[in-house]
Amino acid sequence: MSLVQELRPGRLFLCRLDHNSEIVASITFLAKALGIETAAVSAIGALQRAEIGYYDQETHEYKTIEVSHPTEISSLTGNLSIREGVPFLHAHATLADSDGNLLGGHLQSGTVFAAEVYIRELLGRPLVRRHDPTTDLYLWSETD
């Protein structure tokens, strides 16, 4: 059976990230500072550089795609939950270059040119990530 957990809306935040900041670390820092354990996250803006990834289901390893040029964040969507006792951002991004070409995948890191982030806190029993031996990923699991 799939894990289904009912949550209710909490606080809403709009945040502007600092120029030259690291996007994943900045969103994670905001979650810690605001006391957020579970949330939905989206963002728009631009990155100076980024690393996105693709999870190889056979080798159970992330393949990193280096994006060494400026891009627009066409879409960034994800969630915050708890992993090893602290907030953890799981986000996917679609990035557009100056020719309109798109790259997408699991957002591993990125240097912010300008970014605006929407965080919608979700209240209830926090979602916790634990190691799943089948996929070798950290997935939401039943809490103790």
**Residue 53 falls within a domain, yes or no?**
yes
pLDDT digits (tens, 9 = 90+) for 90-128: 999 999 999 999 999 999 999 999 999 999 999 999 999
pLDDT digits (tens, 9 = 90+) for 36-90: 999 999 999 999 999 999 999 999 999 999 999 999 999 999 999 999 999 999 9
* Structural tokens at position 88: 């953890």
User: The domain that contains 84 carries what CATH number?
Assistant: 3.30.1330.80
Quote the number of domains for the chain.
Answer: 1
**Residue 50 falls within a domain, yes or no?**
yes
**Residue 4 falls within a domain, yes or no?**
no
Return left, alpha or beta for 45; rule: phi > 0 is left, psi -120 to 50 is alpha, else beta: left
**Residue 3 falls within a domain, yes or no?**
no
Domain containing 54: what range? 9-139
* Structural tokens at position 126: 């926090």
Residue 53 contacts residue 66 (beta carbons within 8 Å): no
